[in-house]
Amino acid sequence: MMTFYGLRAGRLVRLDTASTKGIPALTETLWIDLRDPSHDEEKTVETLLNLQVPTRQEMAEIEESSRLYEDRGALVMTAVVIDGAGEGRPARAQVTFVLTQTHLVSVRYADPVPFRTFEAKCERQPELHTSSDRILASLLDSIVERAADVLELVAADLNEVSVRLFFDDDQPRRRPKRAEDELQVLIKRLGRKNMTMAILRESVLALSRLVPFMRQGTSEWLTDDGTRRLKMIERDLRSLSAYEGQLSSEIVYLHEATLGLINLAQNRIIKVFSIAAVLFLPPTVVGTIYGMNFEAMPELKWAFGYPFALLLMGLSAALPYYWFKRKGWL
């Protein structure tokens, strides 16, 4: 799908293409947004602007030379945007920007939040979207803001996990099986957050390389406002990178703590079985001895032999129990 944007009364608006057979005049167009474009739509844009639009396979390449390069006087820059974080299914979305002095082309195969809310942002701040470089700077700023929002959500979720792990001792004692199931749920929850952080890390890294490349490539015609905004974006990216590292360390710690609690619960169960085996071993030995029924056994025909054997088995179990209690092992 192709969406054309241009200036009307100093505002960036979506152009009506009904009267122009789907393609408005190039002089009226400032930004072309390609979402899930077909091959014909890619060829149309390439013919209009005399530039090469990267394919989906080319956008997925990870080499820096494939993500940031200049082609026919246009800057081709691919960023990684997190998508689906609000729905609990984070995914990577590659977005390619083709920037010239007069036009901007965006190519994407997803619909992340920064693009869904961008038209409303243009309405609120029309003066910031009057040129191709300003539009791209505003888009990058929206992507960074979304990354910051997702980091805040992850931080809040990690705080909730910490409370459940370390501060829920006042809750009614739960059955071991239920407690273990809850810990397993927390591990899966931490795994999802770790996946989110991995995508955010890749996104911040890609943007940290894209912004200096854009500044260098547009140094001859970039407006003063564009330069200032790109510097602010670089500063924000540095702070997000530091915060992301802190949250990643917290995820690792909480994951290890959760596994440690599961191991403690399992060790407690093994400890119970081990103590039970030790307590029942001496009575078993006594019972085995007096169950042999040899003819020469002195207690075989003794009237008090049976109560004596029962008393001996009881004492052989009680004495180890008392010893364990005294040593603090129980």
| Residues 201-234 pLDDT 10s | 999 999 999 999 999 988 888 877 888 899 999 9
Q: Which one, of 187, 96, 204, 188, lies nearest residue 150 by Cα?
A: 204
Give percent helix, percent strand, percent coil of the chain, each to the nearest 5: 60, 15, 25
**What is the rounded distance in angstroms from the CA atom of residue 192 to the CA atom of residue 99?**
35
The string of pLDDT tens digits covering residues 239-274 is 999 999 999 999 999 999 988 888 887 787 787 788
Spatial contact of 151 and 244, defined as CB atoms under 8 Å apart: yes
pLDDT given at position 22: 64
**What is the rounded distance in angstroms from the CA atom of residue 47 to the CA atom of residue 92?**
29
Angle (deg, nearest 10), helices 132-166 and 176-217: 160
pLDDT given at position 176: 56
Q: Tokens in use for 38?
A: 């077909």
In the chain, where are the structural domains located? 2-265, 271-327
Residues of the chain with confidence (pLDDT) below 50: none
Q: What are phi and psi of 190, to 5 degrees?
A: -65, -35
Q: Tokens in use for 296?
A: 């020469």
Fold of 271-327: Methane Monooxygenase Hydroxylase; Chain G, domain 1 (1.20.58)
pLDDT given at position 177: 61
